[in-house]
């Protein structure tokens, strides 16, 4: 279906599941080249990145320890200044390469918070892989190492991304549809 409704808002199909699968395979290939010699600790940001991470991890050919962290800055369709740690970092990252898996990089606030935390804990190298990125909203100088697809600064759902809890299970990505 091209248009769906979640709570009070309508969303229109924007990136097909097939295209997303193709993008993920391409990223996995690159990660396999870059990390085969020294695999990283993989840090998945909950809840949004779960779906992308599951698809990506199945295609990675190196062995990595997997850990999860949960930060929250979004309410509805807007980012807030308050970054809360809802589930903290349990793994020892001292001297390790770390690869963060994100569903979306928007302003970069989440990434910045994670990078600061991982630096404090002595990570040797910090990189990030994200399924989607909004370059027009991004406010940092930190490099975003692996980007699946750049998108405009519009609210999207699907493939792990939610609107107030709904939409994560959608295989395609949808954009906010305002008439």
Least distance between ligand 5GP and beta carbon 25 (Å): 22
Q: Which of 161, 170, 172, 173 binds ligand 5GP (CB under 6 A)?
A: 161
Q: Which stretch binds ligand 5GP (CB under 6 A): 7-15, 29-37, 60-68, 104-112?
A: 104-112
Q: Does 172 interact with ligand 5GP (rule: CB under 6 A)? A: no
Question: Cα torsion for 97, 66, 139, 15, to the nearest 10°?
Answer: 130
Give the nearer residue to ligand 5GP in terms of CB position, either 10 or 124: 10
Catalytically annotated residues: 106
Residue 79 binds to ligand 5GP (criterion: CB under 6 A): yes
- Give the span between the Cα atoms of 22 and 54, in whole angstroms: 15
115 binds ligand 5GP (CB under 6 A): no
SS3 label, residue 89: coil
Runs of H (alpha helix) within the chain: 17-35, 50-57, 109-120
* Contact in structure between 27 and 52 (CB atoms under 8 Å): no
Among 41, 156, 170, 173, binds ligand 5GP (CB under 6 A): 156
CB atoms < 10 A from the CB of 151, how many?
Answer: 21
């Amino acid at each position: 279906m091209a248009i769906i409704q979640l709570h009070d808002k309508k969303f229109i199909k924007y990136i097909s599941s097939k295209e997303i699968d193709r993008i993920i395979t391409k990223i996995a290939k690159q990660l396999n080249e870059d990390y085969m010699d020294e695999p990283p600790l993989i840090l998945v940001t909950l809840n949004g990145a779960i779906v992308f991470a599951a698809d990506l991890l199945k295609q990675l050919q190196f062995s990595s320890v997997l850990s999860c962290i949960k930060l929250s800055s979004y309410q509805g369709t807007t980012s807030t200044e308050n970054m809360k740690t809802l589930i903290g970092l349990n793994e020892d990252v001292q001297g390790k390469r770390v690869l963060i898996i994100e569903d979306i990089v928007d302003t970069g606030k989440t990434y910045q918070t994670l990078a600061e935390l991982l630096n404090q804990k002595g990570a040797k190298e910090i990189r990030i892989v994200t399924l989607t990125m909004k370059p027009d909203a991004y406010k940092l100088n930190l490099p975003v190492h692996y980007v699946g697809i750049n998108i405009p600064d519009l609210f999207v759902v699907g493939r792990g991304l939610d609107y107030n809890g709904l939409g994560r299970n959608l295989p395609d990505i949808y954009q906010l549809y305002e008439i």
